[in-house]
Chains A and B, each alone.
Chain A
Amino acid sequence: MASTKFILGMRDAFFNALFEFYKKDPEVVFITADNGAPTLDQFYQQRPDQYFQVGIAEQQLIGMACGMALEGKKVYTYAIAPFVTTRCYEQNKIDICAMNLPICNIGVGAGYAYDIMGPTHHTVEDLTIMRALPNMTVHSPADSYCAEALAEISYRNPGPQYVRFDRAGVPEIYGEGNHKFADGVLLTCPGGPVALVATGIMVHQAQKVATELAEAGVKARVIDVCRIKPLNTERLFEYLKGVKRVVSMEEHLLTGGLGSLLAETFSDNDMRLPLLRIGQNDRYVFDMGGREVIWEKHGLDVVSMTQRILRWVK
């Protein structure tokens, strides 16, 4: 099973799981802005009345979703992540959030997943802007097990939602088991006075960094924030018990992202924990060569992050 999921990736694990609800519940509708997926064909093949294609027109995607939600539908919209967030941001604000409608936006290509596609396809501000919208729930899963669980979570909790997926080929973190993805915050690697708090692809990087840190004599735990908003502070603080230092790790702009969220949360809760924020600085990235090249050039690779944390800790 795990090998199959590896090939499918987050998006398709989600779609396969969503299809079960879509098939049983005629009130679930799916709108795509000319984006496909191997697992998506069954949606229009088996339930053509619930599937709509607007073409490359994301304002229309969200506006139409609003109209359908007003008619009682639970709507899923689908596009590449930047186009379902930044491209139609005002539609997200007015047509979804201000009217508090059951619309779930699915965006593929979180962070630098579309590495060599350049800044038009990089999605490194979505967490900031989407969490700025009242009523919006923001999911940022790290693997296909979490993604699969999000199908039911999104279906059972109708409201404004955004789910950001990486591309296919991301390895698994969780595997089969009873993981509490609905908590939104999970401890993936226990122990240690340093906490690496990460989201999305960076949970994988955090686990590698934790291994490197252990070899250098620094014990670290890894916490996966798979739901950015609303942040489950209770669970977060539970997993931070005994921690002396916190490192946030995100493949995202530092402005308003996960690190900012932690800083805000600590401040609001009078938590005086040293916080090192690792992410992207205030810049667009034009580097070619692939995601690992981007990581290496911008301090997001395992070696750079490990060294930076070691310098900070000592």
Chain B
Amino acid sequence: MQPEQRKALESKAHWVRCKVLEMAAHAKSGHISSAFSQTELLVALYHGRLMNFDPKNPRWEKRDRFILSKGQGGIGLYPVLADQGFFPSSELDNFAGRDSLLGVHAEHHVPGMEILSGSLGHGLPVATGIAQIGLVKKQPWLVICLLGDGELAEGSNWEAALYAGSKSLSNLVCIVDRNGGGVIGYSDRVEFPCDGPRMNPLDKKFEAFGFEVRTINGHDFGEIFTAFGDIRHRQHKKPLMIIANTHKGKGASIMEDKRLWHYRVPAGNDLAVTCQDLGLKSLPIGGKRVKAEQGE
């Protein structure tokens, strides 16, 4: 990867995080930490053009189908889609407000969104249906499904994984945003009774289900691009699972890998600290710039 490209993408990822914070602070709602863990993945897919799409024709027949299964991450996808021109950026300013196009959870009527999500464990089964039709019709497009690792506790994912592996859905590319965090607990930690079920060894699980598995650092553009380098001409006739190790709340010191921030919007001093983390002196909230130190 060229340094200039990496720099441009990193800069875009930074902009996305700032926008997410701004939207959430304005609406006093939104899953910031979930959006921050997936940021580089989305920026790579869209701004890095790892996917084929046409913002002027969101239902373009030859597009790659992107399924956001972790619907809580909607707030992190909206800036990306708006920046690509799927809908006007002004919509971001009215996130979850009256008559807003954009809800807290991803909805299928938003240009660029394929499905309604927010209840977890739905995306992968739907993705297998799309992929299966793509194979039957011998289409070159791919189905790219972004999952949260917390939602892998939903059994429906494993029903879908069983099907995808059995039927060799080679046009299915899954990404797990492996931030380890759920709502109240972390998988693969045993600190407290509130910690979630063990996901490890996640790679072995998907391999056993018939996937080709690649594990990467989900915040590193170089690794993301390497993982996606051959997705249109892979040798394996298997579905692909990219386990992207990430940090929930990446880039915000009060949130990063911290409990309690799954669904929480910083205010007051917390907001000021988060602005500082992102290098912001102030945040435009509700059409006016609010100094970071003043918080809400």
What residues make up the interface of A, taking CB atoms closer than 8 Å to B?
29, 49, 52, 54-55, 57, 59-60, 62-71, 73, 90-91, 94-95, 98-99
A68 and B162 form a contact (CB under 8 A): no
Chain B 104-148 per-residue mask, 1 if CB under 8 angstroms from chain A, else 0: 000010000011100101101111111111101000000000000
A68 and B163 form a contact (CB under 8 A): no
* Total cross-chain contacts (CB, 8 A): 85
One of B125, B129, B130, B132 near A59 (C-beta < 8 A):
B125
A29–B124 Cα distance when bound, in Å, is 19
6 more A-B residue pairs beyond the given contacts A54-B159, A66-B122, with a C-beta to C-beta distance below 8 A:
A60-B162, A66-B126, A67-B125, A68-B130, A90-B119, A91-B156
Would you call the interface of chain B mostly helix, strand, loop, or mixed?
Answer: helix
Residues of A within 8 A of B131 (CB): 67
Give the 10 A-B CB pairs with smallest separation, nearest first.
A67-B129, A63-B125, A64-B129, A60-B159, A57-B159, A59-B156, A67-B130, A71-B133, A67-B126, A68-B129
A66 and B115 form a contact (CB under 8 A): yes
A64 and B122 form a contact (CB under 8 A): no
| Residue B272, interface by CB 8 Å | no
Known A64-B129, A67-B133; contact A59-B115, beta-carbon cutoff 8 A: no
Would you call the interface of chain A mostly helix, strand, loop, or mixed?
Answer: helix
A95–B136 Cα distance when bound, in Å, is 21
Residues of A within 8 A of B130 (CB): 67-68, 70-71
A98–B105 Cα distance when bound, in Å, is 14
A52–B163 Cα distance when bound, in Å, is 10
One of A69, A70, A71, A94 near B119 (C-beta < 8 A):
A94
What residues make up the interface of B, taking CB atoms closer than 8 Å to A?
108, 114-116, 119, 121-122, 124-134, 136, 155-156, 159-160, 162-163
Q: Which residue of B lies closest to A100 (CB)?
A: B108
B126 and A95 form a contact (CB under 8 A): yes
A43–B114 Cα distance when bound, in Å, is 29
Residues of A within 8 A of B124 (CB): 63
A98–B113 Cα distance when bound, in Å, is 14
A92–chain B nearest beta-carbon distance, Å:
12
A135–B220 Cα distance when bound, in Å, is 44
Residues of A within 8 A of B125 (CB): 59-60, 62-64, 66-67, 91, 95
A99–B127 Cα distance when bound, in Å, is 15
B116 and A55 form a contact (CB under 8 A): no
Known A59-B121, A59-B159; contact A64-B116, beta-carbon cutoff 8 A: no
One of A29, A60, A65, A94 near B160 (C-beta < 8 A):
A60
